Amino acid sequence: MKRRDFLILAASQAAIAADRTRKTGKVETVFKSPGPKPNGLQATDDGLWIIDQGNNHAYLVNYSDGKVTREFNTAADRASGIGFDGEAIWLASTYSREIIRADARTGKTLARYFTPGAGVIYRMPTDPPGRISPLEPISAIPPQRQPILKRNSRPRLGTGAHGLEWRGGKLWVAVPPSRSIYCINPRTWIVESKFSTAGNRPHGIGWEGKWLWCTDSNMNAFYKHDPETGEIMEKIQLAETDPLPHGMTIWRDAIWYCDDVGVVCRLTL
């Protein structure tokens, strides 16, 4: 595709999403995360799972106050997503470019898989600039977290998956380097379908009925996809002052999301 044609297509997709923007209530900060850098969420009947990229611990917490009811270390490397299949948890081990299945009681690794679409996140002319949380001033960000904010000629290491969701025996995975969401058969590890995301920083994903929502951290927005076609059906645009979305999940008609500076938020659908 020629650059001019791509720009026209991207502008068309953006216009469609803008026309379908959903109005919601205000973002509520519900509680502070138990770990230093929450980066993935998964809602379950037993509570809210949080995976922390800072210490690679998994936490199961109460929805009401964030009280920890279970905690353990995992084998993930700077994890960015967590899912639950009813028996075990799935972890997006982002910097080892693996997806790990682990015991939901102890964190013991049960299986490791490669991440489809893993690699180096690239930029395109229509991409927005890299976004940081409005809750954390740039002067407070350690140097190792700043390359996305400025030009850096050093080679960048590849990364893997972010958001994970389980539905009908299949694992759905958001992978920023390929700007795609994959539906994987966990028994064969065959990709059964995939579709493109709205931008180059897709993060958490969550189900609202038959629709799959995906947040993009650079666009500061949530996009509702038809999982069969990938078409964007609706969009929720956050305010510039709202906490930046990283991990997300959906529970009882609300989007729960985390900003990796250490807060868990809720947005009623």
Are the C-beta atoms of 119 and 199 separated by less than 8 Å?
Answer: no
Identify which of 75, 162, 49, 78 has the alpha carbon closest to the alpha carbon of residue 115.
Answer: 162
Q: Report, as an integer, the average pLDDT of 90-98.
A: 98
pLDDT computed for residue 148 by the predictor: 44
Superfamily for domain range 3-268: TolB, C-terminal domain (2.120.10.30)
Model pLDDT, residue 154? 55
pLDDT of residue 30: 98
CB proximity list for 15: less than 8 A, separation 6 or greater: none
Question: What's the number of CA atoms in the CB half-sphere (13 Å) around residue 45?
Answer: 3
Looking at this protein, which amino acid is placed at residue 177?
P
- On the 0-12 / 13-18 / 19+ scale of CB atoms within 10 A, 214 is buried
pLDDT digits (tens, 9 = 90+) for 110-131: 999 999 999 999 999 999 999 9
Question: What is the rounded average pLDDT of the residues 67-73?
Answer: 98
Residue 144 scores a pLDDT above 60: no
262 contact partners, CB below 8 Å, separation of at least 6 = 32, 33, 35, 36, 37, 38
32 pLDDT exceeds 60?
Answer: yes
Give the pLDDT band (50/70/90) at residue 20: confident
pLDDT at 205: 98
Q: Is residue 9 predicted with pLDDT exceeding 70?
A: no
For the chain, the domains span 3-268
pLDDT-derived band at 24 (thresholds 50, 70, 90) equals confident
Predicted confidence at residue 40, as pLDDT, reads 98
